[in-house]
Structure 1
Amino acid sequence: MLTVSNKNETQALAAKLAKLLPLGSVVTLEGNLGSGKTTFAQGFAKGLGIQRAVKSPTYTIVREYPLDDSASFVHIDAYRLEEGGADTVDFDYLMHDKTIVMIEWARFMADFLPENYIQINFTPLEDDQARSIQVEVIGSVDHPYHQIVKQWLN
């Protein structure tokens, strides 16, 4: 578990992860409304070199941002899938070896997540800007995500 003091630290942490993750990676972001998920996704996109404004795709569910070599960053906000409907989104099309996928509220599409992914949980602290961040690798104990997370957090 780690603590960030403000939005800039959250985005810098995310940008650092973006530089370490290979294509084909999936990262989930969990936490209450306003806990820092979209702020993290924005910093991550900047770390990938995306210049466009990154907004939470709450109503559209999915936003795709092109990267080099026909690759893309896919930002999913599954909040609107709380009551169902995840089966209507073609996640197989979005999650492949030419994308890096970041999913806010991933618990609402748990049945569609890959076997291995990085899960990041955000908890606001008493200071308006401070957040506690907990990182966990879900899946195989020998998956490369473990080494990536270790390198990222050191």
Structure 2
Amino acid sequence: MRDAQTYTFHTRSMQETQELAESVGRLVEPGDVFTLTGDLGAGKTTFTQGLARGMDISGVVNSPTFTIIKEYMGRLPLYHMDVYRMEDELEDLGFDEYFYGDGVTVVEWPQMIAEQLPAERCEIAITRGEGDERTLIFTAYGRRYEIVCEAIKNDHSGN
């Protein structure tokens, strides 16, 4: 596999973060996997809400903190995982069925299941700036995610 490519985006508000994620949601395909890292309150769930909107998912999207996985239906299924409370990294919850299935998977706190993640994925690190400012660094592992990131870069070149 080629070296990972990184793309940096800056948002100035929660709305801009969701708009960036919504553009990603319009480009997703079955089997896409996005991982989200960042401190508590960085905007991982905010990003997922925008992604869901781009996938034509209506209704409330919130963190699956205590359920580990929440499923939403839109243009494609969205599997939103928060694996922070996983006690055993090797615990088998059938992740492959999600990662290689017919939907899109978003994993918050992916370091908890690092060994189970697919090699090809898009890692998104979110850091807080002042106020509602965020820096989002997308690392594309695989050509599919490079294409998505290039499209987003072209769409959000003003940020």
TM-score, normalised to structure 2, is 0.87
**Aligned equivalents of 2:90, 2:135: Cα separation in 1:** 29
Deviations 1:14-70 (A, max 9, x none): 0000111211100000000000100000011111111110010000000011234xx
Deviations 1:114-152 (A, max 9, x none): 110000000101x221111111112x4xx2211111111
**Aligned equivalents of 1:13, 1:58: Cα separation in 2:** 23
Check the 8 A contact 1:42/1:54 in 2, yes or no.
yes
**Does 1:67 pair with 2:62?**
no
Aligned to 1:137: 140
**Does 1:29 pair with 2:58?**
no
How far 1:13 sits from its partner (Å)? 0.3
Deviations 1:87-108 (A, max 9, x none): 2311012222411001111111
Aligned to 1:4: 11
How far 1:86 sits from its partner (Å)? 5.0
| Equivalent residue letter for 2:67 | T
Aligned to 1:100: 104
| Equivalent residue letter for 1:149 | C
Identity %: 33
How far 1:78 sits from its partner (Å)? 1.0
Deviations 1:62-85 (A, max 9, x none): 0011234xx41100011112x425
RMSD: 1.3
- Alignment gaps of 5+ in structure 1: none
Aligned to 1:79: 84
**Does 1:111 pair with 2:115?**
yes
Length, aligned pairs only: 147
TM-score, normalised to structure 1, is 0.90
**Does 1:49 pair with 2:56?**
yes
